[in-house]
Structure 1
Protein backbone atom coordinates (compact mmCIF):
# COMPACT_ATOMS: atom_id res chain seq x y z
CA UNK A 1 0.00 0.00 0.00
CA UNK A 2 2.97 2.33 -0.20
CA UNK A 3 2.14 5.40 -2.20
CA UNK A 4 3.72 8.79 -2.78
CA UNK A 5 0.32 10.35 -3.36
CA UNK A 6 -0.99 12.66 -0.67
CA UNK A 7 -4.55 11.32 -0.98
CA UNK A 8 -4.79 8.03 -2.94
CA UNK A 9 -8.11 7.34 -4.66
CA UNK A 10 -9.92 4.65 -6.61
CA UNK A 11 -12.80 4.36 -9.03
CA UNK A 12 -14.56 1.09 -9.87
CA UNK A 13 -17.80 -0.01 -11.47
CA UNK A 14 -19.89 -2.64 -9.70
CA UNK A 15 -23.01 -4.47 -10.85
CA UNK A 16 -25.18 -3.52 -7.87
CA UNK A 17 -27.13 -0.28 -7.62
CA UNK A 18 -26.08 2.41 -5.10
CA UNK A 19 -28.91 1.54 -2.69
CA UNK A 20 -27.74 -2.09 -2.45
CA UNK A 21 -24.15 -1.01 -1.82
CA UNK A 22 -25.35 1.48 0.79
CA UNK A 23 -27.34 -1.27 2.52
CA UNK A 24 -24.32 -3.61 2.38
CA UNK A 25 -22.27 -1.00 4.24
CA UNK A 26 -25.07 -0.59 6.79
CA UNK A 27 -25.10 -4.38 7.28
CA UNK A 28 -21.34 -4.31 7.83
CA UNK A 29 -21.83 -1.47 10.31
CA UNK A 30 -24.37 -3.52 12.27
CA UNK A 31 -21.93 -6.47 12.46
CA UNK A 32 -19.26 -4.18 13.93
CA UNK A 33 -16.55 -6.77 13.37
CA UNK A 34 -14.86 -4.74 10.66
CA UNK A 35 -12.70 -2.82 13.15
CA UNK A 36 -13.86 0.51 11.83
CA UNK A 37 -16.63 3.06 12.22
CA UNK A 38 -18.95 3.48 9.25
CA UNK A 39 -20.83 6.75 8.82
CA UNK A 40 -23.30 6.50 5.96
CA UNK A 41 -25.90 8.60 4.26
CA UNK A 42 -27.29 7.59 0.86
CA UNK A 43 -24.62 7.95 -1.84
CA UNK A 44 -21.92 8.97 0.69
CA UNK A 45 -20.07 6.62 3.04
CA UNK A 46 -17.13 7.34 5.34
CA UNK A 47 -15.06 4.56 6.91
CA UNK A 48 -13.02 5.67 9.92
CA UNK A 49 -10.75 3.95 12.39
CA UNK A 50 -12.28 3.08 15.79
CA UNK A 51 -11.89 5.83 18.39
CA UNK A 52 -9.75 3.55 20.61
CA UNK A 53 -7.25 2.99 17.79
CA UNK A 54 -7.21 6.53 16.38
CA UNK A 55 -4.14 8.73 16.43
CA UNK A 56 -3.29 12.05 14.76
CA UNK A 57 -2.41 10.36 11.46
CA UNK A 58 -5.32 7.89 11.32
CA UNK A 59 -6.80 7.72 7.81
CA UNK A 60 -10.37 7.63 6.66
CA UNK A 61 -11.93 6.39 3.44
CA UNK A 62 -14.63 8.51 1.83
CA UNK A 63 -16.79 6.69 -0.72
CA UNK A 64 -19.20 8.33 -3.17
CA UNK A 65 -21.80 6.16 -4.94
CA UNK A 66 -23.18 7.16 -8.35
CA UNK A 67 -25.58 5.49 -10.77
CA UNK A 68 -24.04 4.19 -13.98
CA UNK A 69 -25.10 2.09 -16.96
CA UNK A 70 -23.64 -1.13 -15.52
CA UNK A 71 -24.87 -0.54 -11.95
CA UNK A 72 -22.85 1.83 -9.80
CA UNK A 73 -19.73 3.92 -10.06
CA UNK A 74 -17.90 3.82 -6.74
CA UNK A 75 -15.35 6.56 -6.10
CA UNK A 76 -13.16 6.38 -3.02
CA UNK A 77 -10.54 8.68 -1.55
CA UNK A 78 -8.19 7.85 1.30
CA UNK A 79 -7.09 10.73 3.41
CA UNK A 80 -6.39 11.92 6.90
CA UNK A 81 -8.98 13.22 9.30
CA UNK A 82 -10.53 16.44 8.00
CA UNK A 83 -8.75 18.55 10.61
CA UNK A 84 -5.35 17.17 9.63
CA UNK A 85 -6.09 17.67 5.94
CA UNK A 86 -7.21 21.28 6.57
CA UNK A 87 -4.07 21.97 8.62
CA UNK A 88 -1.78 20.75 5.85
CA UNK A 89 -3.76 22.39 3.04
CA UNK A 90 -3.67 25.68 4.96
CA UNK A 91 0.06 25.35 5.59
CA UNK A 92 0.75 24.64 1.89
CA UNK A 93 -1.42 27.62 0.94
CA UNK A 94 0.36 29.91 3.42
CA UNK A 95 3.79 28.81 2.14
CA UNK A 96 2.67 29.42 -1.44
CA UNK A 97 1.34 32.89 -0.64
CA UNK A 98 4.50 33.86 1.28
CA UNK A 99 6.76 32.54 -1.48
CA UNK A 100 4.78 34.47 -4.10
CA UNK A 101 4.74 37.80 -2.25
CA UNK A 102 8.34 37.60 -1.06
CA UNK A 103 9.39 36.78 -4.64
CA UNK A 104 7.44 39.75 -6.00
CA UNK A 105 8.83 42.15 -3.40
CA UNK A 106 12.38 40.79 -3.53
CA UNK A 107 12.75 40.64 -7.30
CA UNK A 108 11.09 44.05 -7.70
CA UNK A 109 13.61 45.54 -5.27
CA UNK A 110 16.45 43.74 -7.06
CA UNK A 111 15.34 45.03 -10.48
CA UNK A 112 15.26 48.58 -9.06
CA UNK A 113 18.82 48.19 -7.82
CA UNK A 114 17.84 48.16 -4.15
CA UNK A 115 18.85 45.68 -1.47
CA UNK A 116 16.85 42.46 -1.80
CA UNK A 117 17.80 40.68 1.42
CA UNK A 118 14.22 39.45 1.74
CA UNK A 119 15.01 36.88 -0.98
CA UNK A 120 17.07 34.98 1.62
CA UNK A 121 13.76 33.90 3.16
CA UNK A 122 12.79 31.93 0.01
CA UNK A 123 15.07 28.92 0.60
CA UNK A 124 13.66 28.56 4.12
CA UNK A 125 10.07 28.70 2.86
CA UNK A 126 10.83 26.17 0.14
CA UNK A 127 12.49 23.94 2.76
CA UNK A 128 9.41 24.32 4.98
CA UNK A 129 7.19 23.24 2.08
CA UNK A 130 9.37 20.18 1.52
CA UNK A 131 9.28 19.38 5.26
CA UNK A 132 5.47 19.61 5.18
CA UNK A 133 5.36 17.16 2.28
CA UNK A 134 7.75 14.76 4.02
CA UNK A 135 5.72 15.02 7.24
CA UNK A 136 2.56 14.14 5.33
CA UNK A 137 4.31 11.12 3.81
CA UNK A 138 5.60 10.09 7.25
CA UNK A 139 2.09 10.39 8.67
CA UNK A 140 0.67 8.38 5.80
CA UNK A 141 3.18 5.62 6.53
CA UNK A 142 2.21 5.66 10.23
CA UNK A 143 -1.42 5.14 9.20
CA UNK A 144 -0.66 2.58 6.48
CA UNK A 145 -1.83 -0.43 8.48
CA UNK A 146 -5.10 1.31 9.35
CA UNK A 147 -5.48 2.33 5.70
CA UNK A 148 -5.05 -1.32 4.73
CA UNK A 149 -7.82 -2.29 7.18
CA UNK A 150 -10.19 0.30 5.71
CA UNK A 151 -9.25 -0.83 2.20
CA UNK A 152 -9.88 -4.48 3.11
CA UNK A 153 -13.29 -3.62 4.61
CA UNK A 154 -14.31 -1.74 1.45
CA UNK A 155 -13.17 -4.64 -0.76
CA UNK A 156 -15.09 -7.09 1.40
CA UNK A 157 -18.34 -5.10 1.25
CA UNK A 158 -18.06 -4.30 -2.47
CA UNK A 159 -16.96 -7.82 -3.38
CA UNK A 160 -14.41 -6.42 -5.83
CA UNK A 161 -10.64 -6.06 -5.85
CA UNK A 162 -9.82 -2.37 -5.55
CA UNK A 163 -6.72 -0.81 -7.12
CA UNK A 164 -6.05 2.78 -6.23
CA UNK A 165 -4.10 5.47 -8.00
Structure 2
Protein backbone atom coordinates (compact mmCIF):
# COMPACT_ATOMS: atom_id res chain seq x y z
CA UNK A 1 0.00 0.00 0.00
CA UNK A 2 3.02 2.26 0.27
CA UNK A 3 3.45 4.75 -2.50
CA UNK A 4 6.10 7.17 -3.69
CA UNK A 5 3.50 9.86 -3.23
CA UNK A 6 3.62 11.62 0.09
CA UNK A 7 -0.18 11.54 0.34
CA UNK A 8 -1.81 8.55 -1.44
CA UNK A 9 -5.27 9.22 -2.84
CA UNK A 10 -8.17 7.69 -4.71
CA UNK A 11 -11.23 8.85 -6.61
CA UNK A 12 -14.32 6.78 -7.27
CA UNK A 13 -17.94 7.03 -8.25
CA UNK A 14 -20.48 5.54 -5.83
CA UNK A 15 -24.09 4.90 -6.93
CA UNK A 16 -25.86 6.54 -3.98
CA UNK A 17 -26.61 9.96 -2.58
CA UNK A 18 -24.57 11.94 -0.06
CA UNK A 19 -26.93 11.38 2.87
CA UNK A 20 -27.02 7.60 2.61
CA UNK A 21 -23.22 7.47 2.15
CA UNK A 22 -22.67 9.68 5.21
CA UNK A 23 -25.10 7.58 7.23
CA UNK A 24 -23.24 4.42 6.25
CA UNK A 25 -19.89 5.92 7.30
CA UNK A 26 -21.30 7.27 10.58
CA UNK A 27 -23.00 3.96 11.45
CA UNK A 28 -19.78 2.06 10.77
CA UNK A 29 -17.74 4.51 12.89
CA UNK A 30 -20.25 4.23 15.76
CA UNK A 31 -20.14 0.42 15.63
CA UNK A 32 -16.34 0.24 15.40
CA UNK A 33 -14.06 0.62 18.44
CA UNK A 34 -10.89 0.89 16.39
CA UNK A 35 -11.65 4.14 14.56
CA UNK A 36 -13.06 7.56 15.28
CA UNK A 37 -14.03 10.25 12.87
CA UNK A 38 -16.01 13.22 11.76
CA UNK A 39 -18.88 13.23 9.29
CA UNK A 40 -20.11 16.61 8.06
CA UNK A 41 -22.00 17.92 5.02
CA UNK A 42 -19.52 17.24 2.21
CA UNK A 43 -16.59 15.93 4.19
CA UNK A 44 -15.65 12.87 6.28
CA UNK A 45 -12.49 12.08 8.24
CA UNK A 46 -11.65 8.59 9.48
CA UNK A 47 -8.91 8.41 12.13
CA UNK A 48 -7.31 5.85 14.39
CA UNK A 49 -8.58 6.07 17.99
CA UNK A 50 -6.60 8.57 20.13
CA UNK A 51 -5.16 5.82 22.35
CA UNK A 52 -3.35 4.26 19.37
CA UNK A 53 -2.32 7.44 17.55
CA UNK A 54 1.29 8.48 17.22
CA UNK A 55 3.03 11.29 15.34
CA UNK A 56 2.87 9.46 12.00
CA UNK A 57 -0.67 8.06 12.34
CA UNK A 58 -2.59 8.55 9.09
CA UNK A 59 -6.13 9.66 8.57
CA UNK A 60 -8.45 9.29 5.60
CA UNK A 61 -10.16 12.46 4.42
CA UNK A 62 -13.16 11.92 2.15
CA UNK A 63 -14.57 14.73 0.04
CA UNK A 64 -18.09 14.05 -1.23
CA UNK A 65 -19.45 15.63 -4.40
CA UNK A 66 -22.90 14.72 -5.66
CA UNK A 67 -22.99 14.60 -9.48
CA UNK A 68 -26.66 13.63 -9.71
CA UNK A 69 -29.28 12.25 -7.35
CA UNK A 70 -27.79 8.74 -7.20
CA UNK A 71 -24.23 9.38 -8.36
CA UNK A 72 -21.66 10.44 -5.80
CA UNK A 73 -18.00 11.18 -6.47
CA UNK A 74 -15.81 10.33 -3.49
CA UNK A 75 -12.25 11.61 -3.30
CA UNK A 76 -10.09 10.04 -0.60
CA UNK A 77 -6.80 11.41 0.63
CA UNK A 78 -4.52 9.65 3.12
CA UNK A 79 -2.16 11.75 5.10
CA UNK A 80 -0.89 12.58 8.55
CA UNK A 81 -2.59 15.02 10.89
CA UNK A 82 -2.91 18.44 9.25
CA UNK A 83 -0.31 19.90 11.62
CA UNK A 84 2.29 17.32 10.51
CA UNK A 85 1.49 17.95 6.85
CA UNK A 86 1.73 21.71 7.42
CA UNK A 87 5.24 21.39 8.89
CA UNK A 88 6.44 19.52 5.81
CA UNK A 89 4.65 21.83 3.38
CA UNK A 90 6.01 24.97 5.03
CA UNK A 91 9.51 23.47 5.12
CA UNK A 92 9.36 22.75 1.39
CA UNK A 93 8.02 26.25 0.72
CA UNK A 94 10.73 27.88 2.84
CA UNK A 95 13.45 25.86 1.11
CA UNK A 96 12.06 26.83 -2.30
CA UNK A 97 11.90 30.53 -1.48
CA UNK A 98 15.37 30.53 0.09
CA UNK A 99 16.77 28.72 -2.96
CA UNK A 100 15.15 31.28 -5.25
CA UNK A 101 16.61 34.20 -3.32
CA UNK A 102 20.04 32.53 -3.11
CA UNK A 103 19.95 31.87 -6.85
CA UNK A 104 18.93 35.41 -7.77
CA UNK A 105 21.49 36.98 -5.43
CA UNK A 106 24.26 34.58 -6.47
CA UNK A 107 23.64 35.03 -10.19
CA UNK A 108 23.52 38.80 -9.85
CA UNK A 109 26.88 38.66 -8.03
CA UNK A 110 28.32 36.54 -10.86
CA UNK A 111 27.04 39.02 -13.46
CA UNK A 112 28.87 41.77 -11.60
CA UNK A 113 32.05 39.64 -11.73
CA UNK A 114 32.03 39.19 -7.95
CA UNK A 115 32.39 35.90 -6.09
CA UNK A 116 29.09 34.17 -5.28
CA UNK A 117 29.68 31.60 -2.54
CA UNK A 118 25.97 31.77 -1.68
CA UNK A 119 25.27 29.54 -4.70
CA UNK A 120 26.58 26.63 -2.63
CA UNK A 121 23.45 27.01 -0.53
CA UNK A 122 21.26 25.76 -3.39
CA UNK A 123 22.60 22.17 -3.49
CA UNK A 124 22.57 22.12 0.32
CA UNK A 125 18.90 23.16 0.37
CA UNK A 126 18.15 20.55 -2.31
CA UNK A 127 19.78 17.93 -0.07
CA UNK A 128 17.66 19.13 2.87
CA UNK A 129 14.52 18.86 0.68
CA UNK A 130 15.53 15.32 -0.29
CA UNK A 131 16.07 14.56 3.40
CA UNK A 132 12.58 15.86 4.20
CA UNK A 133 11.13 13.66 1.46
CA UNK A 134 12.94 10.61 2.84
CA UNK A 135 11.72 11.42 6.37
CA UNK A 136 8.16 11.68 5.03
CA UNK A 137 8.56 8.30 3.32
CA UNK A 138 9.91 6.77 6.54
CA UNK A 139 6.96 8.23 8.45
CA UNK A 140 4.60 6.80 5.86
CA UNK A 141 6.19 3.38 6.42
CA UNK A 142 5.71 3.75 10.19
CA UNK A 143 2.00 4.52 9.64
CA UNK A 144 1.53 1.99 6.81
CA UNK A 145 -0.12 -0.65 9.00
CA UNK A 146 -2.63 1.86 10.36
CA UNK A 147 -3.25 3.17 6.83
CA UNK A 148 -3.93 -0.39 5.68
CA UNK A 149 -6.44 -0.83 8.55
CA UNK A 150 -8.24 2.41 7.68
CA UNK A 151 -8.33 1.49 3.99
CA UNK A 152 -9.66 -1.99 4.79
CA UNK A 153 -12.33 -0.43 7.04
CA UNK A 154 -13.39 1.92 4.24
CA UNK A 155 -13.56 -0.95 1.75
CA UNK A 156 -15.74 -2.92 4.19
CA UNK A 157 -18.09 0.02 4.55
CA UNK A 158 -18.54 0.58 0.80
CA UNK A 159 -18.37 -3.17 0.02
CA UNK A 160 -15.88 -3.06 -2.86
CA UNK A 161 -12.16 -2.65 -3.43
CA UNK A 162 -10.58 0.73 -4.05
CA UNK A 163 -7.22 1.24 -5.75
CA UNK A 164 -4.87 3.98 -4.57
CA UNK A 165 -3.02 6.26 -6.94
TM-score (norm. length: structure 2): 0.95
Residue 67 (structure 2) aligns with: 68
Q: Is residue 55 of structure 1 aligned with residue 39 of structure 2?
A: no
CA deviations over 1:13-45 (Å, ceiling 9, x no partner): 111211101000111122123x11121112210
Aligned length: 164
Residue 44 (structure 2) aligns with: 45
How far the C-alpha of 1:160 sits from its partner, in A, is 2.0
Q: Is residue 139 of structure 1 aligned with residue 132 of structure 2?
A: no
RMSD of aligned residue pairs (Cα, Å):
1.0
Q: Secondary structure at the match of 1:42?
A: coil
Structure 1 unpaired stretches of 5+: none
Find the aligned partners of 1:9 and 1:26 in 2 and give their Cα distance.
21
Q: Is residue 97 of structure 1 aligned with residue 62 of structure 2?
A: no
* Runs of 4+ with >6 A deviation: none
CA deviations over 1:61-85 (Å, ceiling 9, x no partner): 0001111245211111011100000
Structure 2 unpaired stretches of 5+: none
Find the aligned partners of 2:100 and 2:158 in 1 and give their Cα distance.
45
